[in-house]
Chains A and B, each alone.
Chain A
Amino acid sequence: MTTIGVLGLQGAVREHVRSIEACGAKALIIKQADQLQLIDGLIMPGGESTTMRRLIDLYGFMDPMREFAQSGKPMFGTCAGLILLAKEIVGYDAPHLGVMDVLVERNSFGRQKESFEANLEVTGLAEPFNAVFIRAPHIVSAGPSTEVLAMHNDRIVLARDGQFLGCSFHPELTEDHRLTKYFVEMVEQAPVVV
């Protein structure tokens, strides 16, 4: 059975676990770096990216997560998770994991009172997706290998770069599991690297 990890340092961990299970896969909360060996794909949840980065460094997650990425296993970042994945961040000298070929800007829709929900047209989904944006980042530009899957007011909010999937919003806060399902399928179809 496909096992998908949810980085469990902080944030909306429980919601992702519920969504993974609703898609028929096994979920594992990852609190120690050595647990990464047990999973086929990793979700980095919404939360505070600054805090998550501190904890990633503190618990020595950075190198094991980069190795995980190099092994070709799929990773999905939602909101803060997207910031962790991005190769470039507006206003910062260095990225976090720096594996997904996108430039992201933090808190780019404003502060909490500007946070919103909206219906998005998503490539590959028949019906619109109700997306919840909370102090959300957006993708300013994407590299040539990156496929843009959804836009909101001319801003890229969902994209895929090979094994990496990233979105500005929080699919885990709704009962709509279609994006999680999409990721579970990415994991199931990922080539096995020996």
Chain B
Amino acid sequence: MKDTKIVTEALSLYYGEKMALNSVSVEIPENQVTAFIGPSGCGKSTFLRTLNRMNDLIPNVKTSGKVLIDGLDIYDKKVDVVNLRKKIGMVFQKSNPFAKSIFENVAYGPKINGINNKKDLEEIVVTSLQRAAIWNEVKDRLNHSALGLSGGQQQRLCIARTLAVNPEIILMDEPASALDPISTAKIEELIFELKKNFTIVIVTHNMQQAARVSDLTAFFYLGELIEFGKTKKIFTTPDKKQTEDYITGRFG
């Protein structure tokens, strides 16, 4: 078993009066892909967004419990959210490149972190694009707008942009839900490659995707963590009937 990277302890979250997460406790290991599955509105995306405090942006959110990353509580008052987010990259459901050139998209994060040396920036951009397996497709048009890329390329560019900040953890919120099967396969293969260097947490409502890419799977339902374990186990012999019903499509 690998070292634990993220731990949540009795993590609950409310949107106003509405409970979105109910006392979720998980341990997410380092350099593995952990997938969160469950029906829409089960709290899996909310959970993901607690890990980099993205929920802070939404008014009236109350969080209780703990989220420990490398043993440190990220909801501690002393934690600098901006620095935290540098450590935890995020890839969103809809590919969201900035209306800038491909180069500028990837260089955005490093520039914000104060890297202004042209040579250093170039190196980071090239490495990030290579790691995101999109270099060959864009190397001749780094100065073109990122918005001219296809959906799948845009999403890989967004992954490259995330990698450029050199995070330790990458959160992915349904990263392939808007893509065609070929692009999806590329993203999945990329995830598989990336886990060698990053801890990846992915939310998906595509169970097959969770099965294909993840080492561990957590099943969420109505804000509760129903079952968490090795993907192999969850998809062959789940312990809970609710999990079984969901993955076999007999839900509700």
**Pairing of A with B:** no
Residues of B within 8 A of A (CB): none
Residues of A within 8 A of B (CB): none
